[in-house]
Amino acid sequence: MKNGKIASIVLAAGYSSRMNSFKPFLEFGGRTAVETVVNTLKDAGIEKIIVVVGYRGSEVEDKLKDSGVICIRNENYSQGMYSSVLKGVKFLDESIEAFFIMPVDIPLVKKHTLELMKREYRRCGKGILYPVYCGKRGHPPLIDIKYRHPILSGSGEGGLERMLLNFPEDSMEVAVFDSMVIMDMDEKKDYNALLNHYLSCAPNRSECNAILKSYNVPENIVRHCMEVARVSLEILEHLKCCGHVLDAAALEAAAMLHDIAKGEKNHDMKGAAILKEIGYERVGYIISTHIDLDVDENGMITENEILYLADKLVKGDRVMPLEERRAQYMSVYNENMEAQDKINKRFDTAGKILQKIKRISGKGLIYE
């Protein structure tokens, strides 16, 4: 059984010529890109982190001096990325079983993605693993140490990617729901797109669809989630007209994923735990209250309340007035007083949210 150390080689030696800014020092939430990559690797349990530096190398070394990583200089960084790969691979010792190759210009790969790839490596017996998002291979590949010699003896023509293509029988693609594996930052517009994603703290629509697929959510539940998301955004738009601004990205993601654990006991809490595990705690919190919620009738409207109301307005994939849905539920549980009490409490709560929206906006919703 595989049980050696997993390392990572972070490539941070290039000129950043197309960016017109030094990529390792571009910031995400007060941390530089190179610090962001290093912290994610640490959080994912990577046991040895080697950062290959070149251009402005002493500045990168100084930035990481207290991080516990190993910085090594590539004096030949002007020869391209493969020269940095060679420098990092040469530094690997016999304690290393496999290693990631992580370019610093792909800085937002999720901890969950790295952990998934580590598990798949332990399980599958393959020597080269690629993260794949929506059919497209991304970074970082995870490479068995047995490829150390082929990499070091390779010509470098076509780069590491070309060399690894010589071993298709020992390669495996790992489906991930992390679009960041294919999002690099060659130019300023790329950095801005990454920064926007980082600041949203929520998976985008494409990632939500990939998450639903990964968790094998049934198609009828997916249709329900999509309609709840549509209604949620309509309510949000209704409130925007009166100057009320909320977190649209987090709300949409929570609506699309709120029933990810449907069928399991306490599926609201289970869904919240899933989102927290994959790095979206804020989205998980909104999901956690979509079944039961306490409403501050005089307070500001929240994303949690909008999702709660939208979920009560949608039966299957069809919008239905609250009182009509309440009556249908009551007819099903007409001999179960405890269930009827819960139904009434939940639909009374939804009614309070509806009245709150009226108070804030000065007009009712089309769904009444």
Highest mean pLDDT among 258-272, 287-301, 318-332: 258-272
Other beta carbons within 10 Å of 268:
21
Burial 17-29 (b: 16+ CB within 10 A, else e): eebeebbbbbebe
Average pLDDT over residues 236-242: 84
pTM over the 0.85 mark: yes
- The predicted structure's pLDDT at residue 51: 98
Average pLDDT over residues 76-82: 92
Percent of the chain with pLDDT over 90: 84
- The predicted structure's pLDDT at residue 177: 95
CA 194 from chain center: how many Å? Answer: 12
Average pLDDT over residues 210-233: 97
Q: What is the pLDDT of residues 175-209, one digit of tens each?
A: 999 999 999 999 999 999 999 999 999 999 999 99
Q: What is the pLDDT of residues 117-152, one digit of tens each?
A: 999 999 999 999 999 999 999 999 999 999 999 999
Mean of per-residue pLDDT scores for the chain: 94
- The predicted structure's pLDDT at residue 1: 44
Between 360 and 72, the higher pLDDT residue = 72
Domains annotated for the chain, with CATH where assigned, are 5-200 (3.90.550.10), 205-361 (1.10.3210.10)
- The predicted structure's pLDDT at residue 155: 80
Percent of the chain with pLDDT over 70: 99
pLDDT grade, residue 335 (50/70/90)? confident
d(CA 44, CA 9): 14
pLDDT grade, residue 3 (50/70/90)? low
Q: What is the pLDDT of residues 22-68, one digit of tens each?
A: 999 999 999 999 999 999 999 999 999 999 999 999 999 999 999 99
- The predicted structure's pLDDT at residue 312: 96
Closest Cα partner for 286 from 277, 296, 276, 297? Answer: 276
